[in-house]
Amino acid sequence: APQAPFPAALDDCHAAWHAVLSHADRLGIDPARIVIGGYSAGAGLAACLTQRLRDEGARLPAAQLLIYPMADDRTATRRELDTPRHRVWSNRNNLFGWTSYLGQPPGDPAGPYAVAARCEDLSGLPPAWLGIGTSDLFLDESRNYAARLAASGVETTYVEVDGAIHAFDMTETAIAKAFVSSQVEFLRRYAGYPANCPRGNGAAYVTRTRDPIITNDVLTYWEGTTLPADKLSIVSTAFH
């Protein structure tokens, strides 16, 4: 995009998915242990691809890993978000990005699978991990999408990082390593990720609580299919 707007990118992802499945034996891949995922716009594509595969009755991935996903074009229509300084990806960037990807102004009627958050029925999708920082432009749409997934019966893990900006995990900070560690634990659960895989120096040890508590930790966490968006449990993290 903009040279090849929607559905070009999604069609490429769709073709790649089926190519991997058709050559799974030669590649030594277990089709039942594939997780689809991505960062930012890539996470939005992963979510849309999963929706499309479900509707086609095709094989679904074991899970979906959605790292601060670009999931809702309507965020780009919110002019009040133009003023706050969202580092790395601002709403002005967002307006250009969505216009280029869709080939039309964001907020206009869009075709099926163009925008993940526009999908009305999220039931029957594979388990999802979704993580975002509270200073990320995509915070509201990520919270809403995670809550809708859970309300639709999708096993959902949601991780929110206090004060983190878009792409904060590209650094070698302790909190970035904890964020990635949460993803590794998710992959281990749904894709049989090797238990002896090195976890680096920032492993997060998760202590889940039934009810919200107040701590000084910066990771906010909930998982399941029944927790409402305003009931968030806090994780305790320990670094070594």
* pLDDT single digits (tens) 82-132: 998 899 999 999 999 999 999 999 999 999 999 999 999 999 999 999 999
pLDDT at 143 over 90: yes
**Mean pLDDT, rounded, of the chain:** 84
Nearest to 48 by CA among 73, 21, 23, 76: 73
pLDDT at 193: 56
Question: What phi-psi label fits residue 28: left (phi over 0), alpha (psi between -120 and 50 degrees) or beta?
Answer: left
pLDDT at 172: 87
State the helix-helix crossing angle for 41-56 and 8-22, rounded to 10 degrees. Answer: 60
**Beta-strand relationship, 156-161 and 219-224:** antiparallel
Q: Tens digit of pLDDT for each residue in 206-234?
A: 223 223 222 334 566 556 654 444 433 33
